[in-house]
Amino acid sequence: SQTIHQWPATLVQPVGSPLSLECTVEGTSNPNLYWYRQAAGRGLQLLFYSIGIDQISSEVPQNLSASRPQDRQFILSSKKLLLSDSGFYLCAWSVDGDYGYTFGSGTRLTVV
Amino acid sequence: AQSVTQLDSQVPVFEEAPVELRCNYSSSVSVYLFWYVQYPNQGLQLLLKYLSGSTLVKGINGFEAEFNKSQTSFHLRKPSVHISDTAEYFCAVSPTNTNAGKSTFGDGTTLTVKP
């Protein structure tokens, strides 16, 4: 079966510290992968998407970056976190021809 | 570019009553349409989707939605809600002319079912 793993579930980080969030998908090949951020009480903002290994597109200029070192692995990173980076980060995947997303369980990041 | 407007930020309803959550969208190209549900501190779960064919689509948990191209709407309905339907609901669209499947989401509607 197809599953998606996202970790950690919660994270509290000081301003200026680095960040690494990881997402892995099982049970499918060559998925489209996405990172979204959800601010409190708001909708989802697309941060990055990837249609293949090392193919990353950024939707919003910011101090975050993404990488896809393997077909089913998607990593969100930052060298120095800002207070405004706090939020709920969601990884998702889809396949060509059927773009309904399967979401991970999310990471709640609090920058203090 | 696409935009999605969920017309009601909060919808309170009594248990076993019908409910409609409204979604309008704007796009210069054809789109696929989706509804997702999010329970507190969880990821989103796909409720239903419209890709093509019949404009009335049925999803999980007894929900259904109707695509109206002329009104650019995709309203979500359920004839009788349960307490367990209390959650945040998101409407989303994705352009059909790309291979990346990027979805644009509305700001969500909080459905609260009261006993």
Domain CATH number, residue B26: 2.60.40.10
pLDDT tops 90 at residue B42: no
Which two structure tokens, joined as six digits, stand for A40?
């409190």
Range of the domain at B55: 2-114
Q: Residues of A numbered 36-95 whose beta carbons fall under 8 angstroms of chain B's beta carbons: which are they?
A: 36, 41-44, 46, 49, 51, 57, 59, 90, 92, 94
Count of domains forming chain B: 1
Q: In a structure prediction context, what are the per-residue pLDDT tens digits for chain A, which is 112 residues long?
A: 778 999 999 999 999 999 999 999 998 888 999 999 998 777 899 999 999 998 999 988 678 999 999 999 999 999 999 999 999 999 999 987 777 999 999 999 999 9
pLDDT interval class at B23 (50, 70, 90): very high
Instruction: Check: CB of residue A101 under 8 Å from CB of residue B47.
Output: no
Q: What is the CATH number of the domain that holds A107?
A: 2.60.40.10
Contact B100 A100 (CB under 8 A): no
Range of the domain at A56: 3-111
pLDDT interval class at B49 (50, 70, 90): very high
Q: For B94-103, how does the pLDDT look when each residue is reduced to its tens digit (9 = 90+)?
A: 998 876 778 9
The secondary element (H helix, E strand) that includes residue A9 is: none
Count of domains forming chain A: 1
